[in-house]
């Protein structure tokens, strides 16, 4: 009798372990599922929308509800002719202020000025010539193209860079699927240069 119930418990345990093991394998298989190009672009679009990339990287039009995305310029970066208004440098205190331009695509902080990059696949002014590895490395290391100068605030590479390789690849695939827009974004300037050029 005792032997029999031990046997039942034993069989039950083995079955349970088997179920847990098979479920884990199945999940792993699903995670490793290779997405089609179309699904990858969809996933990338979803991440870019939720990630708020357009808040900084898309120029805006202005209506009664305030600024909304300029749908003819999606993710094309800070307009080449963006003009930084005069500002009072005394309001820039350590850890304190970031001043955004009216459309949110350019900023001034203690680091100086920064202009959101053109993320459309234009070869000359956007990411047309980039490889997925450059994109992943840039977001992981916080260095321009993954190897150059530090990427400036307020670009949140520290959080975007925590996404998986697959998700970053999906974002890149979506960006590459956008209509290319020629827009040469200005180079950033350090604060002292901004102040002396006034």
Closest approach of Cβ 40 to ligand HEC, in Å?
14
Other C-beta atoms closer than 10 Å to the C-beta of 121 total 18
Give the CB-side neighbour count of residue 111, counting CA atoms within 13 A.
Answer: 14
| Torsion angle in degrees (nearest 10) through CA of 176, 136, 36, 73 | -20
> Which CB, 171 or 173, lies closer to ligand HEC?
171
> Which CB, 35 or 153, lies closer to ligand HEC?
153
Confirm if 157 and 71 have CB atoms less than 8 A apart.
Answer: no
Closest approach of Cβ 178 to ligand HEC, in Å?
12
Closest approach of Cβ 19 to ligand HEC, in Å?
38
> Which CB, 89 or 150, lies closer to ligand HEC?
150
> Which CB, 19 or 147, lies closer to ligand HEC?
147
> Which CB, 35 or 100, lies closer to ligand HEC?
100
Closest approach of Cβ 78 to ligand HEC, in Å?
7
Q: Would you tell me which residues interact with ligand HEC (CB under 6 A)? A: 48, 51-53, 55-57, 114, 116-117, 119, 135, 138, 144-145, 151-152, 154-156, 160, 171, 188
Closest approach of Cβ 105 to ligand HEC, in Å?
8
Closest approach of Cβ 116 to ligand HEC, in Å?
4
Closest CA to 181 of 113, 123, 100, 138: 123
Confirm if 60 and 78 have CB atoms less than 8 A apart.
Answer: no
Closest CA to 181 of 90, 76, 104, 79: 76
> Which CB, 26 or 164, lies closer to ligand HEC?
164
Distances (CA, A) of 103 to 4, 60, 165, 181: 75, 5, 31, 18
Q: What distance in Å separates the CA atoms of residue 107 and residue 113, rounded to the nearest whole number? A: 6
């Amino acid at each position: 009798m005792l032997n029999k119930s031990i046997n039942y418990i034993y069989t039950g345990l083995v079955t349970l372990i088997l179920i847990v093991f098979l479920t884990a394998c199945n999940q792993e298989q699903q995670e490793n599922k290779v997405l089609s190009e179309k699904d990858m672009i969809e996933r990338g679009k979803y991440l870019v929308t939720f990630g708020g990339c357009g808040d900084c990287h898309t120029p805006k039009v202005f209506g009664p509800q305030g600024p909304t995305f300029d749908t003819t310029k999606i993710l094309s970066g800070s307009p080449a002719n963006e003009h930084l208004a005069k500002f009072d440098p005394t309001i820039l205190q350590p850890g304190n202020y970031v001043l955004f331009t009216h459309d949110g695509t350019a900023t001034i902080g203690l680091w100086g000025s920064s202009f959101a990059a053109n993320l459309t696949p234009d070869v000359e002014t956007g990411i047309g010539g980039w490889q997925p590895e450059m994109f992943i490395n840039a977001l992981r290391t916080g260095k321009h193209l993954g190897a150059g100068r530090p990427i400036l605030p307020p670009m949140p590479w520290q959080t975007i860079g925590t996404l998986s390789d697959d998700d970053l690849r999906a974002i890149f695939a979506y960006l590459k699927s956008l209509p290319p827009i020629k827009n040469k974004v200005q180079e950033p300037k350090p604060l002292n240069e901004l102040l002396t050029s006034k």
